Structure formats: structure tokens, C-alpha cells
Amino acid sequence: MTDTDAAGGPPSTDRPQTSTRDHTELAERLGAWLAARPGATAGRIEGLTAPDTNGMSSETLLFDAEWTDADGEHHERCVARLEPEASAVPVFPTYDLELQHRVMTLVGERTAVPVPRNLWFEPDPAPVGSPFIVMGRVDGVVPPDVMPYPFGDNWLFDADPTDQQRLQDRSVEVLVQLHGLEATPDEVAFLDTDAAGDTPLRRHVNGQRAFYDWTRGAGTADELRIPVLEAAFAWLDEHWPDDEGPTVVSWGDGRIGNMIYRDFEPVAALDWEMAALGPRELDLAWMIFIHRFFQDLAEQYGLPGMPRYLHRDDVAALYESLSGHTPRDLDWYLMYAALRHGIVMTRTAQRGVHFGEREAPEDPDDFVMHRVTIERMLAGTYWDGI
């Protein structure tokens, strides 16, 4: 995601700080870990870098791994995701990397969703200071978050409309493929939150309430309240869907900025840390809303953006045609997507304050970059004319 600067100007083109780790030391420690794996006799890490335009919650690293074992010499282009340091103001209260490893394995085995090849999961924090997972790197391009792709001057914005349409359609198809995953309740039980509630959706929302309380430091001397988010929670309670529909495996952060593309076709679905169980509309609304969030930013700074891209009506109609499921209660799920994103943005803003990248706002609602969007949703006017 992106953020405004402390003076309220245009979004910064600098990637927000997410870590204080020294990359040279980290490469050495990863190399030592690789060499110490069972059966290995040597290991080395080269070219360790962090992505410039995406990946703001977990710490994501790109590198080349070389190691030797009984089968000979190996070379693999890798991506690692590390649990962030507590000192770096992590976005989420917990990072279940085993869950991410398990859900990617399950999705890769049971669906046509393209997921990176899982290489290793290391639960022990000792080797590099936190648990981590390592995946094979997938070549391709990703619609940028910094600067957001609707701002222009990037490969997706500049593409032919036919190619843009193909990318949109194939991305929605990925959600359909995911939601068609067949598994027993026991096989997906690890994705169900331990929050209170008698349905997966109730537990999902209550889990977000707990996330919000953690973000605002509930029960501490510095407790913060964000009225616009609390109003959104109240609205959700008042307008709860009559029929939650079938429960599926939900990606949680399924959006085009979390996919790698080649020739405008998705070749990898990334970032499964928010995976859970819930209705299909969780993912559908998230994909629609995150684009609208970026489009609103573009319009705020006088840019045309991509106003008809990933339009709610087009996405819902395509999803229905591909899946046979008619999306329901989209206003509700879009409000929930805006709320969920508001909690995340609050935390990333707090991290920016911690690293001196911005000042804390006088009005707590201004921690939420899209507070006006939520306020208009609450008033029932946001989708007018969109």
C-alpha cells in the first residue's frame, strides 16, 4: 500500500520502512542455515534484496540459494517471507507462517490456482531471528502498489484495453478456482479463527474486532479509539446478511497486486497470511474494494486513473458466469472490506509514525487514509454514480 506524507501531500514514492534487519548479516545467517539443513554439505545466499513496490506486512526477501547435498549441487531462485520483528511495529499481532505454508500446499494440490512452489518452512526463530518460509521465485510482473497502478506510468495502466480485460477476467477466475477447492472440514479446520461466533463469518468479524482492539492498544494507558471504524462495525451488526451462503477457503488478500502475471495471465498467487474460512464474497469484495481504494487516491490527486476497471458490477457478473454462484449482499461485504483495510491502514500509519516517516494525526480518524470513503458508505452515498 501507499501513504501520504506528513504534510498531507501526494503519496510518497518511497517504500515504507518495514524492517530494521541488516541484509548482509541476514544473508550470512540464511546461508549458514541452508548449509546446516539435513544432508547438506554447503550453502550460500547471494543477491539478497527486498521488493520495491509491494509486500508491506511480512518481511519479503528475494535471493539466489546455492547448496550441495548427496544429490549434487543445486541452485534455486527464492523468495522468503519472515515474521517481522516486534521492534518494527508489525502490521498483525501474530504471523502464522505454518498456516501460510499449509494453505499454499493445499491450494496447489487441490486447485488450478497458481501458487509458488513451497521449498521449506522453518519454525525455529534461532537461525535468522524469526520463523520463515522459502518458496521458489516466479518470473513475471506485478501491478505496483507504490506508486499505485491507477496513477499511470506502469505496464498495466499503459496496456492495451484487451490485455487489461484479460488480466481482470483471469484474476477473477483465480477466485473462482480457489472457492471450488474441495476438502473435508478436518482438512481446512486450521484456517478457522478461534474467535467467538456460531458461524465462520461471525468468527471472522469478531477476529477483526480483536485485531482492531490490538491496533488501538485497548486496555492500555495509550488506548486509542477510531470512531469511523467503530461506526463501521456497528453498521455491519445492524445489516448482517440474512443468508451467509456457503463457506469456502478464503484467500483473505486476493487482489491483483498479490498476483504475478506473464502475458496478462496470473502465474502466481501470493500473500496468504490473511487466509481463513468464510463466504465467497469476502474475497470478491476485497478485490473490488482495493482497486477502488487506489482509484479514489488517483482521483484525489487529479489523475484519471482506471475508473471502470474491476468495477463491482462487472466483477460480480463475471464471477457468477464462471462459478454459478450469484454474489449477494455486496454492499455489506464492501463495507467490511473497507473496514478491514482501515484497520490495516491504521497500523501501517502507526508504523510510519514509529519510523519518523509521518506525524501522528490530531484526529484519530485520520489514521484511516480512506476515512471519507467509509463515511460515505455509512451515509449510503459512496457507490452513487460509480
Q: Exposed, middle or buried: residue 91 (CB in 10 Å: 0-12, 13-18, 19+)? A: buried
Rounded Cα–Cα distance for residues 232 and 212 (Å): 12
Catalytic residues: 253
Q: Which residues 6+ apart lie within 8 Å of 198 measured at CB?
A: none
Angle, alpha carbons 354-11-339 (nearest 5°):
70
- HEC sequence for 97-147: HHHHHHHHHHHHHHCCCCCCCEEEEECCCCCCCCCEEEEECCCCECCCCCC
Rounded Cα–Cα distance for residues 225 and 245 (Å): 32
At 86, the amino acid letter reads A
Rounded Cα–Cα distance for residues 130 and 101 (Å): 15
Q: Exposed, middle or buried: residue 327 (CB in 10 Å: 0-12, 13-18, 19+)? A: buried
